[in-house]
C-alpha cells in the first residue's frame, strides 16, 4: 500500500523521536523492569526465610516448654546463624532468654538479650530487650551496665513508665532515695491512670515517704 503524505509524515516523526529518545526509553524500561524483578525476588526470599524461620522457632518453643536446655541452645544458635534479620528469630532469642533466666543461667539470658539489641530493628522488641537486660544487670549489681541499658536508647512511649520504674529501682539499690523518688514519680505519671502498674508505683513511692502527684 502506498502511504499518503500525512501517514508518511507521522512515520517520519516517530522515527525521528525514536532516534532521539529511543536509547533513553530503552534504558529506563530496563531499569524499571529490573527493579520490579528484584523487588519480586526479594519478596520471595523474605517469604521463604520467614517460612523456614517459623519451623526453627517451633523447635525453640518446644525446647523451652520441655526445659531441654541442650536443644534450646542448639536450635537458638541455628536460627540465629541462618535468619538473623527475621523478626521471628528475635522473638526466639527473647523466649530463650526468659527460659535461661528461669533456669538461673543469667549469663546466657543476657547473651540472648544482647543479641536481640544488636540485630532487631523493631523499636518495641529493642525496648523490651534493653529493659529485660537491665533487670538482669540489676541482679548482678552491674549498676553501670543497667544505667546504660535504661538511658542510652530511645524507647517508645509505651515503655517509658517501665524504664523510669527500673531507673528508680537502680537508684534505690544504690541508696539514692531522691533519685529513686524522682524516677518513680515520672513512672507514675507515664503509667495509665487506674492501672495496676500505677498502684504498684504508689506503694513504692509511699515506702519513700511521698505521694504521687500529677504534673
pTM, rounded to two decimals: 0.76
Nearest to 167 by CA among 156, 196, 152: 152
**CB of 188 closer than 8 Å to CB of 177:** no
pLDDT at 124 over 90: yes
| Chain segment 90-111, per-residue pLDDT in tens | 999 999 999 999 999 999 999 9
pLDDT tens digit sequence for 135-153: 999 999 999 999 999 999 9
What's the grid cell of residue 111?
Answer: 547473651
Amino acid at each position: 500500500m502506498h502511504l499518503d503524505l500525512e501517514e508518511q509524515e507521522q512515520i517520519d516523526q516517530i522515527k525521528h523521536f525514536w532516534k532521539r529518545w529511543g536509547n533513553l526509553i530503552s534504558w529506563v524500561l530496563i531499569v524499571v523492569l529490573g527493579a520490579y524483578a528484584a523487588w519480586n525476588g526479594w519478596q520471595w526470599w523474605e517469604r521463604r526465610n520467614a517460612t523456614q524461620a517459623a519451623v526453627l522457632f517451633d523447635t525453640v518453643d518446644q525446647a523451652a516448654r520441655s526445659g531441654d536446655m541442650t536443644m534450646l541452645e542448639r536450635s537458638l544458635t541455628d536460627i540465629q546463624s541462618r535468619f538473623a534479620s527475621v523478626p521471628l528469630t528475635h522473638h526466639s532469642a527473647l523466649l530463650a532468654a526468659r527460659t535461661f533466666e528461669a533456669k538461673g543461667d543469667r549469663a546466657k539470658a543476657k547473651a540472648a538479650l544482647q543479641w536481640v539489641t544488636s540485630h532487631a530493628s523493631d523499636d518495641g522488641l529493642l525496648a523490651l530487650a534493653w529493659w529485660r537486660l537491665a533487670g538482669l544487670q540489676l541482679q548482678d549489681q552491674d549498676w553501670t551496665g543497667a544505667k546504660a541499658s535504661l538511658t542510652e536508647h530511645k524507647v517508645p512511649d509505651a515503655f517509658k513508665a517501665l524504664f523510669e520504674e527500673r531507673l528508680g529501682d537502680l537508684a534505690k539499690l544504690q541508696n539514692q532515695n531522691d533519685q529513686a523518688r524522682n524516677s518513680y514519680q515520672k513512672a507514675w505519671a507515664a503509667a495509665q491512670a487506674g492501672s495496676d502498674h500505677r498502684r504498684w508505683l504508689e506503694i513504692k513511692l509511699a515506702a519513700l515517704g511521698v505521694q504521687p502527684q500529677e504534673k
